[in-house]
Amino acid sequence: MLDRCGVLTMYLVQVSSLSPTHEDRHDTNPFSVMVVLFLMGMCLSIVGNGRYAHAHQQKEAYSTVRFNLRTGNLEIAHRFYVHDAEHAVGQFLGKRIDLRKNQQAQAQFAKYVSKHFHMRLVTKRGSPPGVLKMRLVGQEVEGKYIWIYQEVVKLSPKGTLQYKSTEAKPHGLEIKMSALQELWDRHTNQVTIEYGIPKYPSIRFTVKDDWRTLYF
């Protein structure tokens, strides 16, 4: 697009350098200067909009898993761009959706995300069979994001991380997160565990990933 704009502008500069009377080809035609400046501005605008559109199409989502010492629950928060969620729900329903005004569509998207996020505890004994049972708490739209909330109720006894056996104490999570990746293979999902350590561990899931492990 930029090359085409440049060629078109150069051509018009050469053509417009001719005065209307063709008597003096070295005189500057004010009108031609205005035309050239206008076209250059249009070309720059087109290029800029193309770059913005490319950035706007970047597909990514972020999830945070944190342990609530007071309740003993694992709390999960997923953050997606509203326009990604709208496109996804629109494809599911076969029509355009305004997610901010449609609470039913918000709930549908939240249910979809919950079905594509799974976790298993990792202990010194290894990973027990089956995934952790998560409850879908709800969702909300905030600015350009939609948040989906889940929780694992009473992961540890009495709201603490004290276990009778160190062998049974969890020291990591196996995670699988594939939301939106069947729609866009370039979509990435980043999951971070906030577990009271200086640097929280994170995993970035691509369409090629399955189960991956984060250690506390």
Mean pLDDT on 5-15:
49
Give the model confidence (pLDDT) of 139-196 as tens digits. Answer: 999 999 999 999 998 776 544 444 444 555 667 889 999 999 999 999 999 999 987 5
pLDDT at 54 (0 to 100): 40
Please report how the helices 103-114 and 82-93 are oriented relative to each other, as an axis angle in degrees rounded to 10.
90
DSSP, collapsed to helix, strand or coil, labels residue 12 as helix
pLDDT at 125 (0 to 100): 65
pLDDT at 160 (0 to 100): 46
pLDDT at 83 (0 to 100): 94
Residue 113 has pLDDT above 90, yes or no: yes
Q: What is the DSSP string of 117-180?
A: EEEEEEBTTBPPSSPPP-EEEEEEEETTEEEEEEEETTSSGGGS---S-TTTS--EEEEEE-TT
What's the full length of the chain, in residues?
Answer: 216
Mean pLDDT on 39-48:
51
Query: What element of type H or E holds 214?
Result: strand 212-215
DSSP, collapsed to helix, strand or coil, labels residue 20 as coil
DSSP, collapsed to helix, strand or coil, labels residue 73 as strand
Place of tokens 């709208």: 86
Sign for the pseudo-dihedral over CA of 156, 160, 161, 165: negative
Residue of 11 and 199 predicted with greater confidence? 199
Residue 5 has pLDDT above 70, yes or no: no
Place of tokens 């999902």: 189
Count Cβ atoms below 10 Å from residue 110 Cβ, excluding itself: 23
Give the model confidence (pLDDT) of 62-112 as tens digits. Answer: 999 998 888 888 999 999 999 999 999 999 889 999 999 999 999 999 999
Domain boundaries of the chain, sorted by first residue: 2-56, 60-215
Residue of 215 and 81 predicted with greater confidence? 81
Measured distance CA(32)–CA(44) in Å, rounded: 18
Q: Phi and psi at residue 41, in whole multiples of 5°?
A: -60, -40
Residue 41 has pLDDT above 50, yes or no: yes
pLDDT at 203 (0 to 100): 94
pLDDT at 12 (0 to 100): 46
Please say whether the beta carbons of 106 and 93 come within 8 A: no
pLDDT at 158 (0 to 100): 47
Please say whether the beta carbons of 124 and 166 come within 8 A: yes
DSSP, collapsed to helix, strand or coil, labels residue 208 as coil
pLDDT at 55 (0 to 100): 41
Contact residues for 45 (Cβ-Cβ < 8 A; gap 6+)? none
Most confident of 27-31, 153-157, 162-166, 205-209: 205-209
